[in-house]
């Protein structure tokens, strides 16, 4: 069932502060699952404990430090432990072994007055010890099931070290590949983003949040962080309320509905108000409209940074503003510890607000079962890591994250899959044998030694003498002689595999925005020289973002986007190269031709002019009006949701079960909190036209016209994978709920309006044969 977020706030963005204090109509839908933070008896336990707490102990629950940081405790130092003993700390992070978490926990539970356990957090982003593809790669699988399994493995492993809180998922919508943190999220689309958000939360938090191996999720960075102007990390954002509601909030709402126990605020200012001091997003939307019951932690030092943002001239004001806006826990800036007491005593913040923040934290600690089982079993820690079944999931996730971008014919047939008859292969490039980079950024406890490189996997498959490995160049540098050696290796082989791309730790992730999205160093030159040998070339791009490589996309016959695939990188890629598995990944974002096109996203609005250029090859057949450059087509290099495989599919016409939907029917369906009813069936016949069986990703898109606000040229509303035998034709059907047609309208609420609807079932965001229907308020 389609589950688009839906809420009935009728208050405007402009009126945000007063909004936060008014009782807004609330709709809370936990979509089928009981929220563990509402468990019977929980509120009583929290209340009983709260009654016993001193003000100092209450403030302690709102304070978080990173181990080893100057502002707070480190695991080995006695004076730091003293803060834990005094109940001045509620949470620690970056403590990553069972022995250390247990030692600190023992102080909290056995030596502090009220025995309140610590909650240990960590950036568990795409695995703990077993590293999965980076989140952008996981999104490229378009398989929430595998993402849920990956998150479950991360939960099992992290909890074995006593880490019960993941600062993940990052659900920031990102439309600009210059932004380094685009690698940490699910790309540009709110529907796919929401599906991924739910999958992570379910995986981390497991069947029961109070199970010893469950970890609490923390969707971040709330909200709009991915819209950083110019793609520069940490930069300010200006997002209209419509765009915020329609695009940026849905993945957060989905995570909240899936039961996420915590949220993290962001570094960015949103429409002039830093998200760490933003009462509209934190109190109005998150607490009042969505009914969030967990706690909000700031981002690293983002409370203290309110001073740099210019909305606080001292630490005390920074603490007050963040606290009053709804940030419950201060991550490392130490201003809650320093100033909350004095703010309370002087009446600048209210005791009842402090109690409420403490309740939020304690509710999560109780719901996690931390009071019942605060420790982890040290004897089981190492056996929890890298279990064969976990590594097997990492391999599947890596295989399914690979997106085949090109597969041109070389001497009559597509170059891939590689023939088993190939007797020699050249492996060239700085990423062919770089285990550290396979882990990607935010590796948690992932180790280079655990990662299988392409060189290792290909050597195991082909034998040492048949694999001609030549690095050719570094990621950033290279010498003429190394390039010449690589060219020679290609000349002596049947096929050349080039493993090129970015350096994960320095060029992707936080504070790693780029203005040029080509291959760094001498890699492009290396590629062109190898292609010039005339040998068939397969280019494997390892990157945390799309790379703009116009020459390669014209001259290299086969290209994969491999992201950073994790511990099983080499085996996963080798299986797909040789056809043991077919590629099934699809792009979670629009892949630009040129960095100057950024921000580029498929779900954009139409404009009034000019007409698409019917003469231009890239715009042929376009009837849309699109704003455009004079020197570069508007279209992406590869559209959102694009991906090839080893067979081809044709999609028949889209058909719907009705040509007219009554407005009242949709409104009634939306008013049902369970939102389960189907209002329309949409189907299309898909045929496998090739000689191999294969899987296609059928996508459902809609467009609404004639509405009170302009809506995008297409919006994703569903997706499903279908496996078809050679020659097989299969009908795929989407059962569509009313929420697919709901949007944030001019009256500042989610709802449906009369509209002309275009619907596609398509293999990517630019393809498909559409049909139309009407949403009408009277029968026609
Ligand atoms: C990042 C967060 C991360 C936090 C804790 C910050 O710099 O923005 O995503 O969770 O550090 O490591």
* pLDDT category of residue 5 using cuts at 50, 70 and 90: very low
**Is a pLDDT exceeding 90 seen at residue 624?**
no
Whether 613 is catalytic: no
For ligand 1, say whether the CB of 167 is within 6 Å of any of its atoms: yes
pLDDT over 90 (residue 287): yes
Is any atom of ligand 1 closer than 6 Å to the C-beta of 220? yes
Note the pLDDT of residue 674.
78
Task: Tell whether the model's pLDDT for residue 713 goes beyond 70.
Answer: yes
- At 525, is the secondary structure helix, strand, or coil? helix
- CA 694 from centre of chain: 27
pLDDT above 90 coverage of the chain, percent: 87
Predicted confidence (pLDDT) per residue in 141-161, tens digit: 999 999 999 999 999 999 999
How far is residue 604's CA from residue 776's CA, in Å, rounded to a whole number?
Answer: 25
The confidence score (pLDDT) of residue 15 equals 32
Return the residue whose CA atom lies nearest to atom 11 of ligand 1: 300
pLDDT at position 9 over 60: no
User: What is the per-residue pLDDT for 261?
Assistant: 98
- The CA 600 to ligand 1 mean position distance, Å, reads 26
- Please write the tens of the pLDDT for every residue from 393-414: 999 999 999 999 999 998 888 9
Res. 3: pLDDT tops 50: no
Does 299 sit in the ligand 1 pocket, CB within 6 Å?
yes
Residue 676 confidence (pLDDT): 75
The pLDDT of residue 13? 34
Kindly indicate the confidence band of residue 550, based on its pLDDT and cuts at 50, 70 and 90.
very high
Q: Is 189 in the pocket of ligand 1 (CB under 6 A)?
A: no
pLDDT for residue 629: 85
Specify the pLDDT at position 618.
Answer: 60
The pLDDT value recorded for residue 391 is 98
DSSP state of 74: -
Between 724 and 672, where is the model more confident?
724
Beta-sheet pairing, 715-724 with 660-662: unpaired
Q: For 527, list phi and psi in degrees, rounded to 5.
A: -60, -50
Residue 128 reports pLDDT greater than 60: yes
What pLDDT is recorded for position 780? 60
Segment 240-264 shows an average pLDDT of 98
- Among the listed residues 80, 233, 299, 330, the single catalytic one is 299
Picking from 461, 468, 464, the residue whose alpha carbon sits closest to that of residue 487 is 468
CA-to-CA separations, 425 to 415, 469, 470, in angstroms, rounded: 13, 8, 11
Average pLDDT for 43-69: 95
Please tell me which residue, 612 or 439, carries the higher pLDDT value. Answer: 439
Predicted confidence (pLDDT) at residue 14 exceeds the cutoff of 50: no
For residue 68, pLDDT beyond 80: no
> pLDDT tens digit string along 491-508?
999 999 999 999 999 999
Mean pLDDT of 219-236: 98
Per the model's pLDDT, the better-predicted residue between 704 and 614 turns out to be 704
C-beta 123 within 6 A of ligand 1: yes
Q: Tens of pLDDT along 436-459?
A: 999 999 999 999 999 999 999 999
- For residues 701 and 651, the answer to whether their CB atoms sit within 8 Å is no
Q: Is the pLDDT at 597 greater than 80, yes or no?
A: yes
Using 50, 70 and 90 to split pLDDT, how confident is the model at 778? confident
Among candidates 630, 636, 601, which has minimal Cα distance to 618?
Answer: 636
Reading the block at residue 335, the tokens are 């201003």
Cβ-based neighbours of 389, under 8 Å, separated by 6 or more = none
Residue 586 in this model has a pLDDT that exceeds 80: yes
C-alpha distances (whole Å) from 615 to each of 378, 413, 618, 620, 624 are 68, 30, 9, 6, 14
The residue to mutate among 299, 301, 327, 512, having the most atoms of ligand 1 within 8 angstroms of its beta carbon, is 299
Q: Whose CA is nearest to atom 12 of ligand 1?
A: 123
How confident is the model at residue 28, as a pLDDT? 35
Stretch among 176-185, 277-286, 627-636 having the lowest mean pLDDT: 627-636
In this structure, are residues 486 and 469 in contact, taking their beta carbons and an 8 Å threshold? no
How much is the pLDDT for 338?
95
The residues near 160 (Cβ < 8 Å, ≥ 6 apart) are: 98, 213, 376, 377, 380, 381, 384, 385
Helix (H) or strand (E) holding 660: strand 660-662
Asked if the model's pLDDT at residue 32 lies above 60, the reply is no
Rounded to 5°, angle at Cα 630 from 627 and 636: 65
Residues 726 and 688 sit within 8 Å (Cβ to Cβ): yes
For the cut 80, the answer to whether the pLDDT of residue 347 exceeds it is yes
Q: What is the mean pLDDT of residues 114-133?
A: 98
Q: How confident is the model at residue 19 (pLDDT cuts 50, 70, 90)?
A: very low
d(CA 378, CA 637): 51
Q: How confident is the model at residue 37 (pLDDT cuts 50, 70, 90)?
A: very high
Q: For the CA atoms of 242, 245, 248, 253, what is the dihedral angle to 10 degrees?
A: 180
The response to whether residue 510 sits with its C-beta less than 6 Å from ligand 1 reads: yes
Q: What is the 3-state secondary structure (H, E, C) of 703-757?
A: EEECCCCCCECCEEEEEEEEEECCCCEEEEEEEEEHHHHCEECCCCCEECCCEEE
Q: Judge if pTM exceeds 0.75.
A: yes
- What would the mean pLDDT of 521-535 be, rounded to a whole number? 98
How many angstroms separate the alpha carbon of residue 168 from the centre of ligand 1?
10
635: pLDDT strictly greater than 70: yes
Q: Using the predicted structure, report yes or no on whether residue 632 has a pLDDT greater than 90.
A: no
From the CA of 267, how far away is ligand 1's center (Å)? 9
In the chain, the percentage of residues whose pLDDT exceeds 70 is: 92
For residues 131 and 446, is the Cβ–Cβ distance under 8 A? yes
More confident residue, 134 or 632: 134
Mean pLDDT of 207-220: 98
SS3 127: coil
CB-based contacts of 764, cutoff 8 Å, min separation 6? 586, 639, 640, 641, 642, 643, 699
Average pLDDT score over the chain? 93
């Amino acid at each position: 069932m389609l589950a688009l977020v839906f809420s009935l706030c009728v208050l405007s963005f402009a009126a945000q502060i007063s909004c936060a204090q008014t009782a807004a109509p609330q709709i809370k839908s936990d979509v089928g699952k009981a929220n563990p933070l509402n468990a019977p008896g929980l509120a009583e336990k929290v209340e009983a404990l709260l009654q016993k707490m001193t003000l100092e102990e209450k403030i302690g629950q709102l304070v978080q430090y990173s181990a080893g940081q100057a502002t707070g405790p480190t695991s080995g130092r006695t004076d730091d432990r003293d803060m834990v003993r005094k109940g001045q700390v509620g949470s620690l992070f970056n403590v990553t072994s069972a022995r250390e978490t247990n030692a600190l926990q023992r102080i909290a539970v056995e030596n502090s007055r009220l025995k309140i356990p610590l909650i240990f957090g960590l950036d568990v982003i795409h695995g703990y010890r077993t590293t999965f593809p980076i989140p952008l790669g996981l999104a490229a699988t378009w398989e929430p099931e595998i993402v849920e399994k990956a998150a479950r493995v991360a939960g099992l492993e992290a909890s074995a070290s006593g880490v019960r809180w993941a600062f993940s998922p990052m659900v920031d919508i990102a439309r600009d590949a210059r932004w380094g943190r685009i690698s940490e999220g699910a790309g540009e689309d709110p529907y796919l983003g929401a599906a991924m958000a739910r999958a992570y939360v379910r995986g981390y938090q497991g069947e029961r949040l109070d199970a010893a191996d469950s970890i609490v999720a923390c969707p971040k960075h709330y909200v709009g962080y991915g819209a950083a102007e110019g793609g520069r990390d940490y930069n300010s954002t200006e997002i209209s309320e419509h765009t915020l509601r329609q695009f940026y909030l849905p993945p957060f709402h989905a995570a909240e509905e899936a039961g996420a126990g915590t949220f993290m605020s962001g570094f960015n200012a949103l429409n002039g108000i830093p998200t760490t001091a933003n009462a509209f997003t934190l109190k109005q939307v998150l607490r009042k409209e969505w009914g969030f019951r967990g706690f909000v932690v700031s981002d690293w030092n983002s409370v203290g940074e309110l001073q740099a943002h210019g909305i606080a001239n001292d630490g005390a004001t920074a603490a007050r503003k963040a606290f009053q806006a709804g940030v419950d826990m201060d991550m490392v800036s130490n201003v809650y510890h320093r100033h909350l007491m004095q703010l309370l005593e002087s009446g600048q913040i209210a005791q009842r607000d402090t109690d409420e923040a403490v309740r939020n934290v304690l509710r999560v600690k109780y719901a996690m079962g931390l009071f019942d089982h605060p420790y982890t079993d040290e004897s089981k820690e190492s056996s929890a890591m890298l279990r064969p079944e976990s590594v097997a999931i990492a391999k599947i996730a890596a295989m399914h994250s690979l997106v085949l971008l090109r597969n041109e014919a070389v001497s009559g047939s597509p170059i891939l899959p590689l023939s088993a008859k190939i007797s020699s292969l050249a492996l060239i490039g700085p990423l062919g044998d770089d285990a550290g980079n396979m882990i990607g950024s935010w590796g948690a406890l992932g180790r280079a030694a655990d990662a299988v490189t392409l060189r290792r996997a290909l050597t195991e498959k082909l034998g040492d003498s048949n694999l001609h490995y030549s690095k050719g160049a570094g990621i950033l540098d290279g010498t003429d002689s190394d390039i010449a050696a690589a060219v020679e290796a290609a000349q002596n082989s049947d096929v050349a595999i080039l493993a090129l791309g970015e350096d994960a730790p320095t060029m992707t992730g936080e504070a790693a925005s780029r203005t040029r999205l080509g291959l760094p160093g001498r890699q492009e030159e290396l590629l062109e020289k190898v292609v010039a040998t005339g040998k068939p070339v397969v280019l494997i791009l390892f990157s945390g973002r799309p790379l703009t490589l116009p020459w390669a996309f014209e001259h290299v016959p086969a290209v994969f986007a491999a992201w950073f695939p994790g511990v099983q990188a080499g085996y996963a890629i080798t299986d797909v190269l040789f056809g043991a598995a077919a590629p099934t990944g699809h792009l979670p974002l629009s892949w630009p031709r040129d960095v100057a096109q950024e921000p580029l996203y498929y779900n954009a609005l139409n404009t009034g002019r000019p007409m698409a250029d019917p003469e231009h090859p890239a715009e042929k057949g376009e009837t849309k009006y699109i704003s455009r450059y004079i020197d570069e087509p508007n279209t992406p290099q590869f559209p959102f949701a694009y991906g090839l495989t080893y067979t081809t599919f044709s999609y028949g016409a889209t058909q719907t079960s009705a040509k007219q939907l009554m407005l009242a029917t949709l409104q009634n369906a939306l008013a049902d909190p369970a939102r389960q009813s189907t209002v329309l069936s949409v189907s299309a016949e898909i045929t496998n036209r090739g000689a191999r069986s294969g899987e296609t990703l059928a996508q459902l898109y809609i467009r609404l016209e004639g509405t009170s606000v302009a809506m995008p040229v297409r919006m994703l509303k569903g997706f499903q994978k279908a496996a078809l035998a050679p020659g097989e034709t299969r009908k795929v059907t989407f059962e569509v709920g009313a929420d697919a047609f709901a949007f944030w309208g001019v009256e500042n609420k989610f709802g449906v309006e009369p509209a002309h609807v275009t619907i596609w079932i398509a293999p990517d965001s630019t393809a498909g044969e559409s049909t139309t229907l009407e949403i009408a308020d009277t029968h026609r």
